[in-house]
Structure 1
């Protein structure tokens, strides 16, 4: 999605915006800075095929108007990220929903209100996209994250399930 279509949100000198290609290494670093992610193999040496897949994924996200890879940019320093996806659906009377995924705040910036501001930005984007519901999942082992999302008004209303496909 073109940055010009995106309304920016500022928290002091912080700006939330669509990620650019140059932001990807900082995003990957934040995604890997976590024991649960490392236990899934994230952050290990990246093969050429995996590296190509990451860049292809970025290009797909960037080209899809229903997806936004968001970064928190503090004067050129990337300190937070999340991905939002708008999904139209037939259930709930055709209501759109916005899914928030891969929420990360750089370790040295946690507890500063940055995560709360980024989530407010994501909810603002949901409204701008005409979504009537915002949803997310979090790993059951992320008890601090669960408390954080509950403090924002999210409720654990559904049981999430996943099926990993080999190949």
Structure 2
């Protein structure tokens, strides 16, 4: 497992701990599209499912839940999933999901630092591809990812169960 990583004296990226979960949930809910999906309303069943999901992510060596911490506060998060594959001559890939930066901190380079950290994690784990999806309504996010060199090479599809 990797240790903490510094790219900026005020920001530290590390694996999330159980105590970080409420702050991560607040970041995930601080978004209009997430609210439209019903995120942010936490019933007892949802609460139990979230804790179970955190335990599963934490125990899975193929997943890393990352937080960006500044002055002991979680200000950014993302989840990294590492997938081995037979395609592309056995290339492993990393999928980046649930990328969030605290509302008051957007536009200042924090997301760029976190994505650089994520790409470094992919290289550290021998991945040859980094992939992500973004909601089509998130035009600013799409511009952000394109500015980092991501290309919209595939059409993403989902089936909600």
TM-score range, shorter chain: over 0.9
Q: Secondary structure at the match of 1:53?
A: helix
CA contact (8 A) 1:99 1:136 kept: yes
4+ residue stretches of structure 1 with deviation over 2 A? none
Residue 124 to residue 118, structure 1, CA distance change in 2 (3 Å): same
Q: Is residue 2:15 matched to residue 1:18?
A: yes
Unmatched segments (≥5 aa) in structure 2: none
CA contact (8 A) 2:4 2:12 kept: no
1:128 offset after TM fit, Å? 0.3
TM-score (norm 1): 0.94
Q: What's the Cα RMSD here?
A: 0.9
Paired with 2:11 and 2:65, the residues of 1 have a C-alpha distance of: 16
Q: Secondary structure at the match of 1:144?
A: helix
Paired with 2:75 and 2:48, the residues of 1 have a C-alpha distance of: 24
CA contact (8 A) 1:9 1:17 kept: no
Q: Which residue of 2 aligns with 1:28?
A: 25
Q: Is residue 2:23 matched to residue 1:37?
A: no
Q: Matched residue pairs, number? A: 161
- Render the CA deviation track for 1:62-113: whole Å, top value 9, x for unaligned: 0111100000000210000000000000111110000000000000000110
